[in-house]
Amino acid sequence: MKNGCEKEKEKVVICVCGMTGCGKSTVAKRLAEKYGLEYFSGGNALKVLALEAGYKPAERGWWETAEGMNFLQQRMEDPKFDRKVDEKLLELAKQGNVVLDSWTMPWLLKEGFKVWLKASPRVRAIRAAGRDGIGVEKALKVLKEKDEMTRVIYEGLYGFDLGNDFSPFNLILDTDELDVDEVFHAVCLVVDRLVFGKF
C-alpha cells in the first residue's frame, strides 16, 4: 500500500519555463530531487537530435554559439526537431511524476503546475555571460536574437507567444533580485501548498 506522500505525487507534473538565463534548468532539477520526481529537459532532448544531425553540442552555453544558432535556424526551417521532442515530453507527462524543463509544455499540457521564472534581458545576459565566459553586451545581443528566433518557431508551430503570453502559468516569479537558492525556496513554498497540499 502506498503512503499518502506517494499518492499525492503519483500524477504530479510540474513545468518550469522562462527565457534563457532565468535559472529554469537549475530550479527544475532541484525540484525533481526534492520531491522525488523524474527530471526531463526539452533542451537536452534537442541536443540529442542536434548530435544526430551532425552538430557537436557542448554541455553548457552551446545554444549561444554560432553552431547552436545554426541549429536554431535549421529548426526554424524544419519543425520536425521540435515536434519530436514535444511528442516525447507529452508522453512523459502522461506518465506523471515528472518535472519538465520546457518552453512548450505549459501551453501544450492541460494538466500540471506551471511556473514561469521571469528575468530582465540585462540580468539574463549577465548570468549567461558568467556561465559561458563571454562579454555581457555580446550575451545580450545573442540572447535577443535567440529569443526572437525561438518565439518565431513556437508561434508558427503552436500559435503561442513565448515570453509575452503568461496565461498558462500558476506561478510567475521575478528572479532579478533573487539568488538561485531564494528562487528555489520561493517556488517550493508555493509547490508545497498548491501541489502537495502542505500548509
- Return the pLDDT at 65: 85
- Tell me which H or E stretch contains 112: none
Query: CA 167, 146, 30: angle at the middle one, nearest 5?
Result: 60
Q: Please provide the average confidence, as pLDDT, over all residues in the chain.
A: 91
Using the predicted structure, report yes or no on whether residue 31 has a pLDDT greater than 90.
Answer: yes
Output the nine-digit C-alpha cell for 176.
532579478
Structural domains of the chain sorted by starting position, each given as residue range(s) with its CATH number in brackets = 4-194 (3.40.50.300)
DSSP 155: H
Distance, CA of 109 to CA of 12 (rounded, Å): 13
- Gap between the Cα atoms of 24 and 117, Å rounded: 7
Look at residue 58 and tell me whether its pLDDT is greater than 80: no
Residues whose CB falls within 8 Å of the CB of residue 102, separated by 6 or more in sequence, listed in order = 15, 16, 17, 40, 41, 42, 86, 89
User: Is residue 115 within 8 Å of residue 173, measured between CB atoms?
Assistant: yes
How confident is residue 124, by pLDDT bands cut at 50, 70 and 90? Answer: very high
Confidence check: pLDDT of 57 > 60: yes
Residue 101 · residue 16 · CB < 8 Å: yes
For residue 41, is pLDDT > 70? yes
Amino acid (one-letter) located at 115? V
Grid cell at residue 104: 512548450
